[in-house]
Structure 1
Amino acid sequence: MDSFAPRDGDQDNPEKVPDFVETMIYNSTEGVMMTGRYASKEEAKKKGNVINNVGWWFKPWFYQHAQTALKKGEFVEYIPTREYYHRHTRCLYWEGKLILPFADQWWFRFLLGWMMPPKVSLLKATQGEAIRNYYHEMHVIQDMLVPLYKVGDALEWVHKEMEVYPLWLCPHRLFKLPVKTMVYPEPGFEHQHRQGDTSYAQMYTDVGVYYSPGPVLRGEVFDGADAVRRMEDWLVENRGFQPQYAVSELNEKKFWRMFDADLYEHCRKKYEAVGTFMSVYYKSKKGRKTEKEVQEAEQAHLETAYAEAN
């Protein structure tokens, strides 16, 4: 991933940095890195160029198509922009393999591939409590936003503690802003002159962890909740962040060690959201949030706010 991050800080030079960078790691020793640049239709249609309409229902799933590079080596193809944006939609990255194990077979793709992907909201609505708990304990859907120089450590941690494959990697820049938001770069990063960093932004990488862990697939004991909790602790210790679409296992005090709450709480109080809208912590914590639980937490915030005002 860092091979596409200039060492001279010239991050905005299109000659040095591609428009898209993505990596999929299939096991502890194999992975495929892809780069992409916008191209015109005229260029794509030149003689000898390969145009791949990956969005067609009968096409192989994108992560499996990319995996063929491990055998045939580096190759170049042109993908229509909209289809590239939705390259992981049909197979939900690789989660589709768990939902319908045979959905990647050629006969299913040809006959019924147009039905993919299943509507996630419908799947959740029809889940029973037992299935929901099973997914929570035996399945991982998490992202780890880590500094670029920590990616190797993050991959080793995931392999040792979860053994989830494939993994998805995507670069992400955190900008140094006039005010400190919930997610922010490391203090003093601009003085370290690390690869990928500039004076105004630090290069991070999103490590996507989506699948059933190796121990679960082998029928071994695995505590998913504890694994996620340890992952979050690792992120706190290594200046990483957990995107808030995912379930958090941290208590509220530890949660706000990962994120900076000052501006967030200031805005909630200024616009009178406290007591009206649920805090982001309660939106992402594990389990159903009872009305009483949320009201008690919000009341505590209100009492703190009044105490500060007095």
Structure 2
Amino acid sequence: MLDLLCRGLGAVFLAVFIISVMAGSSAGKLSKDFPWQFRLAAQFRTPVLMFVVVPLSFLRYVRTQWRLRSRREVLRDSLGKGAEGHKQRVAIIVDQVKQWNDAGRPRPLRTARKNWEAMSTKLSSNKDNCHLVPTGHLNFILDVDTTSETPSITLEPAVSMGEIQDLLNPLGFALEINVEMESITIGGVAMGFGMEVNSHRSGFFQETVLEYELVTSTGEVVVVTAESDPDLFYALPWSCGSLGFLTRLKVKIIPTKKFVHMKYRITRSPAELCRVMTELSEAPDSPFFLEATVYSKNVAVLQMGDFVDSPTDPSKVNGINWWWKPFYFRWLENFIDKDGGEEFIPYSHYTNRFTRSIFWEIEDMIPFSNHPLYRFFWGWMGAPEVSLLKLFQGPVIRRASVYAHAVQESIMPVRCLEEGLDNFDGWYGVYPLLVFPLRVYDRGQRSGFLTPQQKHLAPGKDWGIWVDLGAYGAPRDVKAGRNWDAKRNIRNMEHWTRDNGGWQAFYTDMFCTHHEFRQMFNHAALDKARERLRCVDAFPLPYTKMKPEAGIVDLKEEEEQEKKAGLFVKG
């Protein structure tokens, strides 16, 4: 009997393996110009993901949950009384920075965090010639204040979004900008950028930060608020750690309710989506949550949500994150033929609605991942961990993937969305597309990296609405077996975004020069702060940290032209 069972399981495994290999047969359509290693990896990506990466991701998740459970009481017991322990942890960094100063500041300072753990597309970290300072021990939640006029949470930068949700959800609270990727750390969001589907009301994550604590290049510990040092406070967002080591921050939290009442509206053209998104995002009574998913050049689903205590129609409750359920973006697609609709989603499900499908990337990796059989037998293990996907890349595959797969976001004025959608169809031909509306404030010289043009502000307001338009997946040309010119298309997107007063999400692959990067992002406040804090020789600039690794894109011709014109900026 045991022998028969083993044979049966072996046959099932073999059948599943063969099916998974055949699912990767679309790799045969790849242009022969791609390296053979990349084409081979593409052929076997599905079984490798199913039998190696997904199980490893699940084990990593179990380990994280076990660590959370063991730390949960420690974290809760430390709330409000962890100041001394925090000082000791910060002192470790201060000592290392002072030793570095005593040694004559030999190399730039960087954190010792591995790049495969970070939320960016890069494989290597550009840290080879830097002095690395470990900061991973700064992973404690220090205080939660739910009773003051402005509720807040005080915590260290290595705390993950998942850990924050785990603590706040039972209390009926959440971060005001609750970035849904559970593995992202709050420090990365604070020193980079973060957004969510209530950003049309609250702005980027930076608008919810009340206080930063930094270790400067001289080893001094400084606490920064909008009142104590506004010039530095507004220079810190998007600075990518180029002004110091973040050691603590205080962030706004908001009360939540158990359910989100979702309403879905279908638009049938880019012009209609642009018009409706502009009206909704600028309205004083706008939905609390607002986004759109674009399924083709003309068709999109607008998602509008508001908190409710309980559903008015229990039959419309949808726990979208149960593993046997269709992926949320596929479920949304059903409302197109119905010309819209509504439902009630538990808030605990809503916050991670795209986690199981990595937005919609998983179907490029495991084409049958939304099939009921896969969801039932494999879905309980979750999606492949993004960091592990990077870890399994080699340099050859990483270079080739840039020209076979798009991960790009353009943050454009909302009234440019119609043109942006048309351009994205030509540049990428990737669907679905993500659309997040975002409020951007004009603070004059203190606007920081994101300095909005006056003409894009809402009428009579000191803020305007921009939209993040995101493309994730294999471009149309790649799927058809043709070569896709990544450099030309991405640079065209960068030029158009810059010319229209927008910005690129720089966790993606940037193909701009340093001069072009500084044209897009206003460095005036950052440069002044770096001079004042003696950071120029201490911390690399954001471009130096965020530019692609050597060998990804050749910008020699563009940089030579800049040198001749006297515009070149060393990266």
TM (normalized to structure 2)? 0.47
**Aligned residue among 86, 97, 112 for 2:352:** 86
2:276 paired residue number? 3
Structure 1 unaligned residues grouped into runs of 5+: 191-195, 290-310
Cα deviation, 1:243-273, whole Å, max 9, x if unaligned, reads: 2211211111111111101111112222222
Higher alpha-carbon deviation: 269-278 or 244-253: 269-278
CA deviation map 1:72-121 (0-9, x unaligned):
23211100112111111110111011121221111010111022211111
User: Which residue of 306, 309, 315 maps to 1:40?
Assistant: 309
Mark the CA change 1:233 to 1:78 in structure 2 (over 3 Å): closer, same or farther.
Answer: same
Q: Which residue is equivalent to 1:160?
A: 426
1:231 aligns with 2:493: yes
Task: Give yes or no for contact 2:278–2:414 (8 Å, CA) kept in 1.
Answer: no
Q: In the aligned structure 2, how far is the partner of 1:40 from the partner of 1:217?
A: 45
Q: Does the CA contact (< 8 Å) of 2:290 and 2:305 recur in 1? A: yes
**Conserved 8 A contact 2:277-2:414:** no
Is the counterpart of residue 185 in structure 1 residue 455 in structure 2?
Answer: no
Give the counterpart letter for 2:527 in structure 1.
Answer: E
Residue correspondence of structure 1 range 89-108 to structure 2 within 5 A: 89-108=355-374
Partner of 1:77: 343
Q: Is 1:18 aligned to 2:303, yes or no?
A: no
Q: Is there any run of 5+ residues in structure 2 with no aligned partner, and where?
A: 1-272, 552-571
Q: SS where residue 323 of structure 2 aligns?
A: coil
What does residue 131 of structure 1 align with?
A: 397
Q: Is 1:31–2:300 an aligned residue pair?
A: yes
Structure 1 distance, partners of 2:415, 2:277, is 13
Q: Distance between the aligned counterparts of 2:423 and 2:486, measured in 1?
A: 15
For 1:202, give the aligned amino acid. G
State how far apart, in whole Å, the 2-side matches of 1:197 and 1:174 are: 14
Q: SS of the counterpart of 2:412?
A: strand
Counterpart CA distance in 1 for 2:517 and 2:423 is 20
1:34 partner SS: strand
For 2:351 and 2:386, the matched residues in 1 are separated by 19
Q: Which amino acid aligns with 1:158?
A: F
Residue number in structure 2 paired with 1:143: 409
Please report how far the alpha carbon of residue 48 of structure 1 lies from its aligned counterpart in structure 2 after TM superposition. Answer: 5.0
Residue 281 of structure 1: how far off its partner (Å)? 0.3
Q: Is 2:473 aligned against 1:211?
A: yes
SS of residue matched to 1:37? strand
Secondary structure at the aligned position of 1:138 is classed as: coil
Q: Quote how far apart the aligned CAs of 1:225 are.
A: 2.5
Specify the SS of the correspondent of 2:301: strand
Residue 303 of structure 1 corresponds to none
Q: Which residue of 1 aligns with 2:320?
A: 54
* Structure 1 residue 6 displacement after superposition: 4.3
Are the equivalent residues in 2 in contact too, given 1:136–1:225 (CA < 8 A)? no
Deviation of the 1:276 alpha carbon: 2.0
Structure 1 vs Structure 2 CA RMSD: 1.9
* One-letter amino acid of the structure 1 residue matched with residue 289 of structure 2: F
Shift of residue 34, structure 1, vs aligned partner = 1.1
Aligned partner of 1:169 in structure 2 is 435
Structure 2 Cα separation of the partners of residues 4 and 229 of structure 1: 27
2:441 and 2:447 in contact (8 A); partners too: no
Query: Structure 1 counterpart of 2:406, which letter?
Result: V
Q: For residue 47 of structure 1, report the CA deviation from its aligned partner.
A: 4.3
Residues in 2 aligned to 1:275 and 1:103: alpha-carbon distance in whole angstroms: 48
Distance 2:478 2:401 in 1: 11
Q: 1:87 to 1:198 in 2, by over 3 A?
A: farther
Equivalence for 2:134: none
Amino acid at match of 1:134: A
Counterpart AA for 2:288: D
1:205-237, Cα deviation, whole Å (9 max, x unpaired): 110111111011111121112211111011111
CA distance in 2, matches of 1:271, 1:200: 30
Q: Is the 8 A contact 1:49 1:78 kept in 2?
A: no
Percent identity for Structure 1 against Structure 2: 26
**CA 1:30–1:6: 2 relative to 1, 3 Å:** closer
Which whole-Å deviations, capped at 9, do the CAs of 1:103-149 have from their partners, x for residues lacking one? 11110101110222111111111111121112111111111100011
Separation of aligned partners in 2, 1:69 and 1:160 = 26
TM-score, normalising length: structure 1: 0.84
Is 1:110 aligned with 2:396? no
Q: Which letter maps to 2:298?
A: T
Return the structure number with greater strand share: 2
- Structure 1 residues 9-38: Cα deviation after superposition (integer angstroms, max 9, x where no partner): 974x3xx31011111111112221111111
SS at match of 1:27: coil
User: Which residue of structure 1 aligns with residue 99 of structure 2?
Assistant: none
Question: Distance in 2 between the 1:164 and 1:72 partners?
Answer: 24
Does the aligned pair in 2 maintain the 1:5–1:17 contact within 8 Å?
A: no
Q: Secondary structure at the match of 1:276?
A: coil
In 1: Cα distance, 2:340 partner to 2:355 partner: 24
315, 325, 332: which one aligns with 1:66: 332
- 2:439 and 2:463 in contact (8 A); partners too: yes
Q: State the aligned residue count.
A: 277
Give the distance between the partners of 2:437 and 2:459, measured in 1 at CA.
12
1:285 to 541, 547, 550: 547
Give the match for residue 261 of structure 1: 523
Distance 1:205 1:139 in 2: 22
Give yes or no for contact 2:413–2:456 (8 Å, CA) kept in 1: no
